[in-house]
Amino acid sequence: MFPSPPPKAAPPPKPVEGEAAPVVVAPPPPETFTIGVTNLAFNPTNAIFGRLLRTKDGHIVTQAYWYQKESSSHDEIPYYEKNFNQLYKWKSKIYLILSVKQEIIERINKLTITNAKTMG
In the chain, domain spans: 1-76, 83-120
* pLDDT in the model for residue 88: 66
For residue 62, count CB atoms less than 10 angstroms from its CB and return exposed for 0-12, middle for 13-18, buried for 19 or more: buried
pTM value > 0.75: no
| DSSP-assigned beta bridge partners for residue 60 | 54
SS3 47: helix
pLDDT tens for each residue of the chain, 120 residues long: 677 777 777 777 777 787 777 777 777 776 777 777 888 888 888 998 888 888 888 888 888 888 888 888 877 766 666 666 666 666 677 777 778 788 888 888 877 777 666 665
SS3 63: helix
